Structure formats: structure tokens, C-alpha cells
Structure 1
Amino acid sequence: MIAIILEELIPIANKMISVNDLTPGLILSDAVITPNGKTLLGKGSTISQRTISLLSMWDVNYVFINIEDDQDPPTQEAAQPKAAPSSFFVSPECIQFLQEYDSITTSAENSFDFVRSKNKVPILSLKDTSFAIYSSILTTGPALMDYLLINDFQLATKISHHTVMVSYICGIIGRQLHFNEEEMKALTLAGLLHDIGRMVVSSDNLPEPQSHTINGAKLLRSVKGIPDEIILSVLQHHEYLDGTGAPMGVDGSKIHKYAKIIAIANIFHNNSYREEYCNPFTALNILSNEMFGKLDPSICQLFTQQVRDSLVNCNVMLSDNREATIIFFPASNSNTPIVRTTDEKLIDLSTEKDITILRMCTPDYVPMI
């Protein structure tokens, strides 16, 4: 059960509100955190429909909000938030996955805090975390990509969220490539460790990404029980097939296959979760542009096709402020879908150059299994 840790003195303008009574636009007057100290939502966060759904998923019953001294919180009727279509629901499987994800990011965050403070790698804990990711990939199955696309970056620190997401995406790609169990475990661990060099205070004054890739490899080289292929993948995850990458500028024939996968997962996550809401279309376009030169085209094509498949039937917000549902992608290599708006109009976004997709509409829509 998620606990809400409150300050000893609650200002008069604060009011405890049931999550069931929350409406978009309210502002938290106190942080919502877990019993082990992980912040779910920070003080001052603005409540959105997405926030309300996520709080419910994590069994948060009450929060404190800012409220005028002489004013009651707005009622559901007054706020009139747009209701999600009745056919949309949060499946028990999705809730289970999100709870597993919460536990995994917490474990990763604790391990990385240890690295920062001790300059040592708690490899057993990190292996346990990567194995949990591997197990989650196996048990969740094809719906995994759907669930990752509704994740909220605010539910974890930036580094733990990024490394866990990259590890998940690496595992998804590994399954597409029919990796065996040993390869899958090594790949998910490499994905989890790929940015560990960012937690090392270095005096070498190297530019990025040379600094964190080299520092990460040096740190891992001193740890017993880490295979050379994982250390090499951490070192090479910013290398490109055309030799323009870092830190060594090696070409594709010298880049480990795990590093090629991490590079794709890294680009996808960094460019899909820039804002409060996920927008994978920017990342898909970048991967498509880079797959013939910098990135492995066969891996890119497999992964981008799975992302497009996962996006079908998802709700998106258009640049003209209309909500729409993705119907299909007209070509296998196209990242521009045909959508249906709430007023039942079909729009081919490849021909409507003035209309683009701003973001995903989640969790009003949670993909059904």
C-alpha cells in the first residue's frame, strides 16, 4: 500500500482530498511518496486525468491539495472532465505490470544511489533487478510495448527510469531477434548498466558521450562477475555503424550486437519521453532516418514495426487540439498514421501537413490485452 508522508504542520490552505474526488487542475500541497522514500508526485504538481489514474493504480487513497481558505474543491460536475470511452479500461495485467515496474525502478534507484555514494557497483542487486526485468518481459508478453508507452517519467528519478526503460526495450528487441535465455539475461543487464558511468565523478574532462561510456567501462572492469561482452556493450553504446560514434569511432564490424541494440533503445527512450506525456512519433522518425548509416537497419525495422503495431487503436492528441484514434499505418515503413477523430472524421496525416500528433492520450486509454 502506498503511503502519503505528510509534513508535521499542515497549512490551513491545505485540504485532504480522496483520490476518487480529484479533478484535473488541482495542485498538490504535499508530495506523494512511498514508504521507502520514493517520490511519486512532487509538491506543487498539477493534477491531470493521467495523474488520477496512476494514483489509483498505486493504491493512493488521499492526497493534500492547495485550496483557498474559503473555497471547497471543485466537484466532479463542476470540473466536467472528459470521460474516457466506456470500452477503455485498466486491465489487471496492466496494473500488475505497473506495480512490478514500480518495484524494479525503486531497486534500480537504490543501487545507483549506492554507486554515487560509494563509487562501487552492487552487482548482485543490479543482477537481481535485471533478472526481474527479464522475468517481467517473459510474463507480460506482447502487451509489454503497450504498457511501456503509457509510463510516466515522473514516477522515478531520471536515471533510474531511463536505464530501466532501456533495459526493457533491449529485452523486447532481444525477443524479436530470438535470443536465447543466456543472451537475454546478458542484454537486459547491459541495458540496465549502460549509463552507469554517469554516476562516477570523473576528473578526465572528456566530453560527452566519451566520458560516461569510458568511465562506465572502467568501473565495471573492476567488478567480478561481469562478462566482457557487457563491459564492451557499455563502452560502445554510442558507437555508430558508419564510424562517427564515440568513444573510439569504430565501425559496425567492431561493435558488439548488444551495443547496437542499446543504441536503438537509448535513442527511442530519450526522444519519446521528453515531456509529461509520451510521444513516440519523434523517436520513430529519428530511428527511421538513422537506420541506414548509423544504426543497424534490420534491428531498427523490427523494432519500429512493433512500436507501430502497439500504437494502433491508441488515442492521440492532434496539433489542432482534437483527440483521435490511430486506425492504421498505410505502409510498413511509414510513421504517419491514418486517424479517426472523436467526430468520426478520418484524417491521413501523411497528406494533412498542417496537422501533427502532439502526444499520446494516456491513461485515458490503456491498451487492452
Structure 2
Amino acid sequence: MSTLTINELKPGMKLNNDVFTARGNLLLPKGKVLMPRDLKILHAFMIDEIQNGIASTTAAPTTEMPLAESGIPAASRSALRIKFEKCYTEMVQATKQAFQSILAEELPIYKLRNQMEELLSYSREYNVLTFTPAYMKKEEYVYHNAVLTSLTSYRIAQWMNLPAKEWMQVAFAGLFHDIGNSKVDPDILHKPSQLTAQEHEEIQRHTLYGYELLKNVKGITDGVRIAALQHHEKVDGTGYPLRLHNSKIHVYARIVAVADIFHAMTLSKYYRQAQSPYLVLEQLDSEAFGKLDPMIVTTFVHKVTQFHNGTRVRLSNGMVGRIIFSDRDHPTRPLIAVGETIYNLMENRKLHIQAVIPG
């Protein structure tokens, strides 16, 4: 069994076996030809030696070729993104019209379904972490939150292996979860300062209002109506309006709760700026114990961070780099390459990802 220290490794050497972190996560796969950056990754993980890990030396590569995002040509991908963004904007406006007229008119459910189906046809272009609405007015926050919660809830339903026939209904649950806000005084809803106890109670009534508004709407299931009622319930029974425990909360409501909280914290509001999506994921993870469904949270966090090696990010110190490795046990604290320097966010707790840079 051959053993080489980290200082003996050279670019161009080929791994005979997988290399794992101290926590047992795959760091570099068998057959990998070592690049200069791989050696820095090994240093970042404080790996001192590789046992039986090196095959023959090959010609040292001079550059690292980036992986393509998909097999679709860049021009076609750009066109699809433009179509997605156009459909998204149209969906937001349709949602705004529906919410503003719900007190006087019947909810145009079939029109909304057609627009939602068109938007979902481009859902491959929707990245939960990197998509940011263009030119979002803060007074339209509730409509953007509705559409984004809808898209994310749809994605979570797929990740949770719900039957395909339920995916659209879960999307509706996300779209309509806050429709009860249409009956809340806008001055209270958009108040930039702290709410009084009476105003807070009125805000909480939006769950009851939402259920009442959806009660007789055709084309949606009871799960959609119940999600509007229950999406602020907590699995430990401390939520509202009914203080239900986990087993009593509908799965649609548990899904929507996760999606809603994520987007509520990563969108700008009157009284709060948007937060880092990675910090929000960490907060969601901590909320999972006693507040949110832990299975849904764990699935959501791991799925949205699973395919982001190469993603450009801005760190909390202002530096811009790329994610080069994500530990499955700590997906919100990956390794970041900034130029020739690698930052291990698992070890450096003072740094965090401030923003994901689309592109």
C-alpha cells in the first residue's frame, strides 16, 4: 500500500481510489487527474497524506476546463431564460389582478392555471438560489412572494416524491397561501414600524381570510384551501391560527411553509432588506427542529445546494469567487475559490455567502 504526503502530490497524478474528508464525504473521486486547485482543496481540508491513492503520473494539465451548465447551447439557454422571465412577469401581474379583485369577483382559476402551466413549462430555467425578480417594487412583494413560493413548492413536491397529479395543486397552494392578505388593511400590511398587538392579531387573521376566500373556488383541492389556513402552523404546536401539531398539519401547508419562509427572507420588504440565501438556508435548518417539518427542510436545503459547484458568489467580506466543493453534511458552507485562494467556510465561520451571482 503506497502512501504519499500532501507535499509529494503533483499536478497530473491520477487517483487510484476515492479520497474522503474526515467526515466521510467524497472529496475527490477515483480516476481524478489532479489539478493545481485539487491540491489546494486537499490543503484546505487539512489532509496530510493519501494512502494507496496514486496511479501513474500523466502529463500535467495546464488549465481546468469549466463544466457546461447543460447540453443546451448558450444562445438557446439565454432565449429560454428570457421566455421564463417574461412568463414570470405575466404570472406576477395576473396574480396581482386576481388578489386585488378577489373581494368583488370570482377568482379566475382557469386563467391562472393556464398561465401557471406556461410558466412551469420553463421551470428548468428557475434556480431557487439565483433567480431574482427584475425591477421588483416593494409594494408588489406579496405577489412576487406568491409566485416564487408557488414555483418552489412545486419543486419541493417533486423532490418529496408526491404523486405527479398533485404537483399543480401544490403550486396553487403556494400561489394562494397569502391570498387572505387581500382582506387586511394595507396600512397594517405594509407598516414599516413595529406592529401593535392588535395589528399583529389582524395580520394573523389572513390565514382565516384566505381559507374563506378559497372555500368555494372550483378547480382546486381541499389541500390548497387548508394550506392557506395552516401555512403558519408549527410542528411543535406553537403556530397559528389553530396551534396544530405536525400530524395535524396538511403536507401542502408544511411544504408551503418552508418555501414561503425562504422567499420572505430573501426578498426585500418595506422594513427589511433581502438576506443572503445561504444564511436563510442555515436559519431554516435550525428552524427544522420543532418548528418546520425536518424532512422537508433537509430535502430542500440539500437539493437547492446540490448542483452549484462553479456558481459565482459574493462573500460577506465583499470578495467574489466560485463554489468548488460542497460537503453534504454542511451544504451551506462550501469551499470557495477566490483567485488562487481557497476559503473553507466550514472552518472560517466569520465568512458566509452573502449573495449568489446569476450567470
Which deviates the most, 110-119 or 313-322? 110-119
Q: Which residue does 2:342 correspond to in 1?
A: 346
Q: Deviations over 1:119-166 (max 9, x none)?
A: 1322222222333344333xx2xx6436x6132353463222211111
Partner SS for 1:151: coil
2:167 is equivalent to residue 184 of structure 1 = yes
Unaligned runs of 5+ in 1: 1-84
Q: Distance in 2 between matches of 1:246 and 1:358?
A: 31
1:161 maps to which of 131, 138, 144: 144
> 2: distance between equivalents of 1:162 and 1:310?
24
Relative distance call for 1:205 and 1:150 in structure 2 (3 A) is: closer
Question: Could you tell me how far 1:113 is from its partner in structure 2?
Answer: 2.4
Match of 2:220 in 1: 226
Q: Which residue of 2 aligns with 1:125?
A: 111
Any idea what the Cα deviations from partners look like across 1:152-185, whole Å, max 9, x if unmatched? 3534632222111111111111111222232101
Q: 1:310 corresponds to which residue? A: 307
Q: 1:96 aligns with which of 76, 80, 90?
A: 80
5+ residue gaps in structure 2? 1-65, 189-197
Q: Which amino acid aligns with 1:150?
A: F
What is the letter of the counterpart of residue 141 of structure 2?
K
- Match for residue 289 of structure 1? 286
- Structure 1 residues 93-102 or 280-289, which shifts more? 93-102
> How far is 1:115 from its partner?
3.2
Aligned ranges 1:1-369 → 2 under 5 Å: 92-117=76-101, 119=103, 120=105, 121-137=107-123, 140=124, 144-145=126-127, 149-152=130-133, 154-155=135-136, 157-201=140-184, 207=201, 209-274=203-268, 279-342=276-339, 344-362=340-358, 366=359
One-letter amino acid matched to 2:210: G
What amino acid is aligned across from residue 353 of structure 2 in structure 1? I
Identity %: 29
Cα deviation for residue 214 of structure 1 reads 1.1
Bigger Rg, which one: 2
Q: Secondary structure at the match of 1:239?
A: coil
Check 1:99–1:279 CA distance in 2 against 1; reply closer, same or farther (3 A cut).
Answer: farther
User: Is the 8 Å Cα contact of residues 268 and 283 (structure 1) preserved in structure 2?
Assistant: yes
Larger CA deviation: 216-225 vs 166-175: 216-225
TM-score by length of 1: 0.66
How far, CA to CA, are the matches of 1:290 and 1:238 in structure 2? 13
Q: Which amino acid aligns with 2:246?
A: G
* CA–CA distance in structure 2, aligned partners of residues 271 and 111 of structure 1: 20
- Alpha-carbon distance in 2 for matches of 1:161, 1:104: 9
Report the aligned-residue RMSD: 2.9
Cα distance per residue 1:176-226 (max 9 Å; x no partner)? 122223210110111111111112246996626522111111111132333
Change (3 A) 1:294 1:101: same
Partner SS state of residue 145, structure 2: helix
Tell me the secondary structure at the aligned position of residue 336 of structure 1: strand
How many pairs align? 273
> Structure 2 length as normaliser, TM-score?
0.68
Q: 1:330 to 1:201 in 2, by over 3 A?
A: closer
Q: For residue 127 of structure 2, what is the amino acid of its counterpart?
A: M
**Residue 330 of structure 2 contacts residue 346 of structure 2 at CA under 8 Å; is this kept in 1?**
no
User: Is the 1:285–1:335 contact (alpha carbons within 8 Å) kept by the matching residues of 2?
Assistant: yes
Contact 2:94 2:112 (C-alpha < 8 Å) held by counterparts: no
Letter of the aligned partner of 1:318 in structure 2? L
The residue type equivalent to 1:166 in the other structure is T
Secondary structure at 2:322's aligned position in 1? strand
- 1:357 maps to a residue whose letter is I
Cα distance change of structure 1 residues 277 and 229 upon mapping to structure 2, 3 Å threshold = closer
Contact 2:334 2:344 in 1 (8 A): yes
Counterpart Cα distance in 2 of 1:160 and 1:95? 25
> Could you tell which deviates more after superposition, 171-180 or 115-124?
115-124
